[in-house]
Amino acid sequence: MMIAQQLYEGVKIKGEGNVGLVTYIRTDSFRLSDEAIDDAKQYILSNYGEKYYKYRVYKKAKKNENKVQDAHEAIRPTSLLRSPEKLKDSLSSDQYKLYGLIWKRAVACQMQDAEYDVTKVLFNNNDNIFESSGKVLVFDGFRTVYGYTDEKDEKMFPEMTINEVLEILNVIPEQHFTQPPARYTEASLIKELEEKGIGRPSTYAPTITTITSRDYVAKEKGYLFPTDMGFLVTEMMEKYFPKIINEKFTANLEDHLDDVASGNINWRSVISEFYEDFKNELDVAENEMKEIEIKDEVSDVKCENCGAFMVVKSGRYGKFLACPNYPDCKNTKPLNGREPAEETDEVCEKCGSKMLKRKGKFGEFLACSNYPKCKNTKPIVKTIDVACPRCGNKIAIKFSKAGRRFFGCSNYPDCKYISWYEPTDKKCPDCKELMVLKNNKQTCINKKCNKSE
């Protein structure tokens, strides 16, 4: 939202000065102005040709057509002539990416559909018939704006002819089981909120920030996982406030507030209807809800005032360290991204203290428990069951300073073998060089050979 606000307020463009690049951003309207539609038409006809253009009008569901949120048209570029590539030198990386999304969607929404030949192919292998369904793109339509001709989630076929002989590269026998629904990502959660009519575009980002900063969910590999705190708070809220903690409440309340703004209903009746039930539920919760103690995580950091091990607390601005002897000792300090450490059996070779397992930017590592007197650290080396082609020791998984994974010999610095691609224990049948995993294939590391299988 901050980047969008910058694009709306204005960015300094070379040769033009400060220019507002997008229209009002806090709107959920699907409507484009006649001026914007005409601009899109002229741009598409000039740059792609008549067959790519299609006049389109987008409307919201009938119940929302006359709401005040539609007073502002959909978010769009103020001028389609300012393409992302023309402005790239004047925008930051984030501004360029966000403006590109808005610009491409504004152009694409006035273009023809992509067209496909939906195809079923039968493969005959020794009288065993294998079937595959997919599609062949015959006209790219709006997709040409996005600059791609394929998508990972679609099965695209190459051009094929009847009775064509194909080479079998690999046969992979797989058994498929029913999988549970995937966890939400930030994007899929926002999509769900939008479909259920909960919130506005300007509230989606603060919603996700709130549930993560209060430790209701934790983010792992892009997915949102509920924490113990999240389960506990949800259980208590659903028990004592069932009329509020449900997916229909927010959407219905926003409809009522829209009616208030448009003058169709008196605000007092809306507030009165809500508050009467809420007050009763609040009284019950105050009398019956038990105080639940969630034990603090103990860190390895000693309080410099009283010597006690400090505990991890959560506040409105995130986690911090606090002395457990509060209020007698009120010492606090920032956590600085450090989590409570896990004790290991390893001993520090410098001072003899126990080593603690910690998490850092590039994964887990060992650190001396006698910090800050002893600042000894060392990485936790994870290896794969493949021998180094140079010295025979195991290959280790490592990370560069930029966070990119690579593979190196576990005997470093005596052996300095490294590879960006995961080595295998196979040798190339042609040149006898090492085979590595590249694009899900075993590929010879010798660029001159480059054999894949």
Asked if the bond preceding 372 is cis, omega within 30° of 0, the reply is yes
Closest CA to 285 of 224, 348, 239, 346: 239
| Contact between 300 and 341 (Cβ < 8 Å) | yes
N-to-C CA span, the chain: 46
8, 24, 53, 240: the active-site residue: 24
Q: Is 203 left (phi over 0), alpha (psi -120 to 50) or beta?
A: alpha
**Residue-wise DSSP of 10-46:** -EEETTTEEE--B--SS-------HHHHHHHHHHHHH
Taking each continuous run of H as one helix and of E as one strand, the counts in the chain are 10, 21
Q: Which two tokens stand for residue 32?
A: 């484009």
Contact assessment for residue 424 and residue 442, using Cβ atoms and an 8 Å cutoff:
yes
In the annotation, is 24 catalytic?
yes
Amino acid symbol at 362: F
Q: Catalytic residue numbers?
A: 24
